[in-house]
Every structure is written in structure tokens, then in C-alpha cells.
Structure 1
């Protein structure tokens, strides 16, 4: 004779079947025993290890040194030591024969360089100095492009960090999506394992068929196969996250939950994407200023002291000095100044076109993302209604199961459908986080 199951035992069975005992993702995460890392950990590592950021930082230092060099070039004196020893011997025939002379005293018939040109040689040992006069404005003008290049470099660093932050955050969200899918599959497998134990007892008591137990086993195998795929994807995406962040670690870790929010719209504030074009426009103006300097007079004071002679016997009496001033002033060069100014103006117009295009492009992108987010929110609301409907159906099925009026295959089918809807809702939530991250990227 078959024994009757207590009513509270049947109720527990049905509660298990309904999935109300599903373990939450948070509890699964807490039980894993693995270290937990947050998004900030990966972002900070990415900033510190990015070769592009480091290269731009080195460029900033190089530009600073170049500005100092130009300051010295146009404002500091240049002191040099020069030495020359040129020998131009001749072969004299004045006294008959063929006599070599290193420094002739006035030969008229000879073979060799013309004495009027070479005078027998050149012997110099000089200390010379040149000093630009009133050239501080030139030093500032020539250093200005490198100062602007440093500002452009800082903008490039910020843009590079901004790009890295988006890429790393996107990868982090994908890892969270994989991890949550693993966790939801684990919770469903726990339910199926408990279901199998209860169904097996019902089969042994002839309350359920052997085929019902087989269906539970098949569903468990299906979910286990999905779990292997999700776990593989999670490990793959975590390692890619480490690679993007410059972390040499292959340990599987748990990731802290993430809830991105949309940043306030930047409105009319200059975008970080267009700051470089503004600096490039200023750099063109600086280059034009440098070009215009060639039309201003340039004075240079110079002087030297030391030995300067062309006749060796006179060396002891040929030590002296000289000083002077040189002037360079361009008066006409075919209107190059006006032509270069026109070129600068055209290039600045192009940079302005780029700025306006990017501002328009990013504005349209932000509006597109806002529309997509509204669509996802509407879909999430539909999914919540579907889940509530499935729960109502499962509650009805619970009563039918207690009365023996429903096959377990129908129940498992509805349960699978509800789990699929929940998984779709999870994917939409992940896509929503990706869209929020994209919105914040363009809203910068």
C-alpha cells in the first residue's frame, strides 16, 4: 500500500519546483571564496600602465626641455674657441734653382698658390662670442609652440585615459554579464538537483513516472552545458580585462557589482574631444608669429680675441681683438608674409570645421543613446510583467500538481521559459550599462 506524503512536504516540493528557492547571485558570490575586485582597481591599473599615456608624459618633459633650449639659443651668449692652421708653401725661382719657402718674404717668380690670395697660410687661435640683442621676444615666440605642444600632449593624455576608461569599463560589464549568467545557472542547477531527489521519491512511490525523472535529468544536463560555456566566457573575458588593464594575473576573481549612472549633459561646455583642435588653432597662430619675426630687424653683437695672422714670423705681434654688430633685415621676399597668413587662416578654418563636426556628431550620438535607453527601459518593464505572469502561472500549476492534474513536463517548460525571460532581462540590464558607459564617453 502506498503511503501518502504529508501536505507540508508536498508544499515544499512545489515551492522547490517553482524556483522560489533560487539562490541569489549575491549569496553565490559571497560563498565563492574568491577575491573581489572593483572597477576602480582596473581603471587605476590601466592609467598607470598605459604606454600611450607614458609616452605622452615623456613628450611633455621633452617639450619643456626644448623650450628651455630655445630660451638659451635666443637670449644667451654663444662663446666658442676656434683654431686654424693652414699651410700654403711655394717653390721660389727668384735666385735661381728651385727653393721651397713655407712663408715667403716677397717672392715674385714661384710655383704654388698666389701669395695675394693665400699669403703663405693662415694661423688663428680665437675666442669668439656672439650675443643676440633684444631677442627675448624671439625666444618667447619660438618657445610658444612647444608650450602649446605640451598643452596638446596633456589633452591627448586625458583623451587617451578617457578611451582606456571606456574600453576597460565595457570589458568589466561583459565580465559581470558572464558571471551573473554563471550564477543564475548555478542557482537553477541547485533547484534541479533538489527537484530530482523529490521526483525520484515520487517515482519510487508511483506518484510520478520514470519519464518525469528523465526529463529533470535532461534539463540538468542542458543547464550544466550552458554553465560550462558561461564559465569559459567569464574566464576569457576576465583575462582580457587584465590584459587591457596591464595586470599580469591569471587568477579567476569575482567582480564587484556595478551601477553606472548617466552624467549630466555638458551642454555648451567645450567638449574634451575638441580641446585639441582649439589648441592646434592657437599653435597655428604661434607658427604665424614665428614666421613674421623674419621681417623684424635682427641685431647681433659679436667679438673675438686671440691670434690671427698669415705670416709665421709675425705671430708674437699678432695677438689682438675685434668687435662689431651685424644686422639682418628682410625688406621684400615676394609677399611671403601675406601668403603664409592666408595659409594659416585656411588651416584654422579646417580645425573649426572639425570642432563643429565632432560637437554635432557627439550630440547626435548622445540623443541616440538616450532613445535606446528608453527602449530598453520599456523592454525591461515588459519582462517584469512577463515574469509576474509566469509566477502566477506557476502558482496555478502548483495547485494542479498537488491534485495530480498536471505533468511535470508542462511545469518544467514554464519554469524554463521564466528562466529564459529572466536571463534576457539580465542581458538587457548589461546592455543598458554599456549604453550608459557610451553616453558618458561622448558626454565629455
Structure 2
């Protein structure tokens, strides 16, 4: 009796708390919206845009106001040399400085920043794919738990009807008391399995909310995930290979930046203001000056060649990683496709077997009404039904998980 009461309470609690349904799209949208990693990466993209503006601003004339003073006393013949310090000085100058950079060098610097933004954008896409895959995987797991719970609930309801019939037949001496008790034990075991499956669903449902960044302890039912096998883009358009292209462009641009860094550099400057040692006609020491500086690289001790070697080593690593990932990519795609096909064939076979088992249970039920059935045969048929249905649920969930793994590369 206590098992039956527990079961009724379980069903009532479940029914009262599952008024709302939630879909896979809801969790995907919530997870993308709540992810701190995606927000951080988007902020890094904005920061890289500011770097371009900062580079452009740094090439404009730089204006500074500089001021200073000096007093070096000579006491009883002790002190700094007046020929060096002039004893005292004061200055206040407004200076303007501009560095001239070649247009090609400037474009290469801008391009380096653009590649940095593109790399961050690609990382954002990859992070979104990782997050979606994890959310979908957990959603499928929780949905599978829900299906298992619903199936256990169906079995308990079926056994409950059979138990009522068997009880009447036992009272009519059609079946023995031991047969009834054996069947009752089977019913109680399924009631316990029902409670355990509900607890498993609650745990995986809570984990789904946790991964999506949802603070919610309410209980809800998950709708069937609308997941179908996607048509993958070509390797040339896949975000999983885009980073290798960006790295190649970055290395080529890096060689240009090395070459540009060895070109002559010109800088001009000008200032105006007051600069005096306060010794003679200090009021006339207002003036201005202008000048330039030119740097022409001649010999660097072989640094340029070493920088080229470093870039060549990075290119070799890039090609090695790309070739290795290319093989892994196609190996996984082929493996997932094969496993999905095998699961679909297995599901068809399992459904055929379920129809046979259901027909057997129906026949056994009719035989039980006339007392021409062994209870052990009915229990065996029910156990077979449980096994086959559990196999179907696991296979369906496995297929959905494989499709999720396959669709991970669909971008």
C-alpha cells in the first residue's frame, strides 16, 4: 500500500509542477545570451577596433607643453660648474612632433589589426558552436530521461490495471495467492523504477539550467528536440578551417611588417616658447626651433633573418596542424554518418520487435481473464517489453546525440 501511495503522490507532484513546456530553442537562446565568454570575446573585438583608431591617432602631430627649471647654487666656491649648468635656467615650450610612415607600412599595420579582429570573430563562432553542442547534448540527455519516466509511468499504469484484474481472479480462486504476490512484487519494483527515473530527470534538468545560466528551480517538461542531420558546408567555407587561412595571412603580413621595419624613418619636430638661463636679457629669450631626425638601417647583426626563420617555423606548424585536423575532420564526419545510419536501421528493427511484444502482452491479458495463463509468462513478457522499450529509448537518444555531434561542424 505504501508504494501505491508514494506513486500517487509522485504523479500528483509531477502533474502539478509541469504545467510549462520548454523547447531547445529557449535554452540555446538563453545560453548564448548569458555566456560571459561570448560577451568577453565581443568586447575584445570592440577593443581591437579601438586599436585601429589609436594607431591612426598616433600618426597625427603630437603636441606637448613642456616646462622645467633649474637652480644650481655655488656656495663659497663649491657647486656645479657654471659652464655646464649656467647656474639657473627656466623653460616653457610648446612642441609639435610628427613621424612619417609609408602608406604601405601603415596599411600592413591596419591589416594586422583587421586579421586580429577576424580571428576573434572566428573564435566567437567556434565558442558558440561549442556552447550549442553542450547545451543540445544535455537537453537530449534530459529529454531521454523524461521519455524514460513517461514510459515507466505507462508501464506502472498497465501493471496497475493487470493487478486489479489479477486480484479479482485470485479472489475467485482462478489464480493462487502466490501468483498474485509475485505479480505484486513486479508492480512495486516498477513503481520504484518510476520514482528513480523521475529523480534522474530532475537532476539532468537542473544541470541543463545550470549550463544555460538559468537560475530557476521550477519543474518543466521538455519538448521533443527538432534535430535533423544537416548538410555540412565545404571545407573552404567552414569556420573550423578559417583560422588556418587567417594564420597564413597573418604570417604573410608579418613578413611585410619585418621588411617595412627596415626602411628609413623620418621624424620632424618644432617647438616654441621661453628658454633662458636668466643671466643676460632674460626678457628676450623667447624663440622657436625646428629640426628632423632620420634613421637608415644598415646592419642589424642578422636579426632580420632570424625573424624570417621564426615566421617559417610558425608556417610549418600551421601546415602540420591543418593537415592533421583535415584528416580528423573527415574521419569524424564519416564515422558519425555511418553510426547515424546504423542507429536508424536498428530503430526500425526495435519497433518491429515492440509490436510483437505488445501483441504478446495483449494475448496474455486475454488468457489471464480465463485463467489459462501462467503469471510467470506474463511477467516475462512484461520484462521483455521493458527491455525492448529501454533499448529503443537509448537508441533514439544515441541517434540524436550523434546528429548533434555531426551538426557541430555545420558552420
Superposition TM-score, scaled by structure 2 size: 0.91
Structure with greater Cα Rg:
1
Q: CA deviation at 1:117?
A: 1.6
1:154-189 Cα deviation digits (max 9, x unpaired): 111110010000000000000111001110111111
The gaps in structure 1 that reach 5 residues or longer are 1-28, 92-97, 99-109
Aligned equivalent of 1:438: 405
Aligned counterpart for 2:355 among listed residues 379, 388, 410: 388
The within-5 A match list for 1:208-357 is 208-357=175-324
Q: CA deviation at 1:352?
A: 2.1
For the pair 1:180 / 2:164, whether they are aligned, the reply is no
- Residues in 1 aligned to 2:167 and 2:369: alpha-carbon distance in whole angstroms: 16
- Residues in 2 aligned to 1:154 and 1:328: alpha-carbon distance in whole angstroms: 38
What is the root-mean-square deviation in Å for CA atoms of aligned residues? 2.1
SS of structure 1 residue aligned to 2:66:
strand
Aligned counterpart for 1:161 among listed residues 128, 132, 140: 128
Q: CA deviation at 1:335?
A: 3.4
Residues 119, 128 of structure 1: alpha-carbon distance in 2 compared, 3 angstrom cutoff: same
Q: CA deviation at 1:50?
A: 0.8
Aligned equivalent of 1:22: none
Aligned equivalent of 1:59: 44
Contact persistence 2:144–2:393 (CA under 8 A): yes
Aligned equivalent of 1:105: none
Aligned counterpart for 2:34 among listed residues 42, 45, 49: 49
Q: CA deviation at 1:387?
A: 2.1
**How many aligned positions are there?**
398
- Residues in 2 aligned to 1:314 and 1:190: alpha-carbon distance in whole angstroms: 112
- Residues in 2 aligned to 1:111 and 1:32: alpha-carbon distance in whole angstroms: 94
Q: CA deviation at 1:80?
A: 0.6
For the pair 1:367 / 2:320, whether they are aligned, the reply is no
Contact persistence 2:17–2:219 (CA under 8 A): no
Contact persistence 2:169–2:369 (CA under 8 A): no
Q: CA deviation at 1:408?
A: 2.1
Contact persistence 2:17–2:220 (CA under 8 A): no
Residues 404, 199 of structure 1: alpha-carbon distance in 2 compared, 3 angstrom cutoff: closer
- Residues in 2 aligned to 1:146 and 1:304: alpha-carbon distance in whole angstroms: 33
For the pair 1:34 / 2:1, whether they are aligned, the reply is no
- Residues in 2 aligned to 1:33 and 1:347: alpha-carbon distance in whole angstroms: 56
- Residues in 2 aligned to 1:237 and 1:324: alpha-carbon distance in whole angstroms: 73
Superposition TM-score, scaled by structure 1 size: 0.84
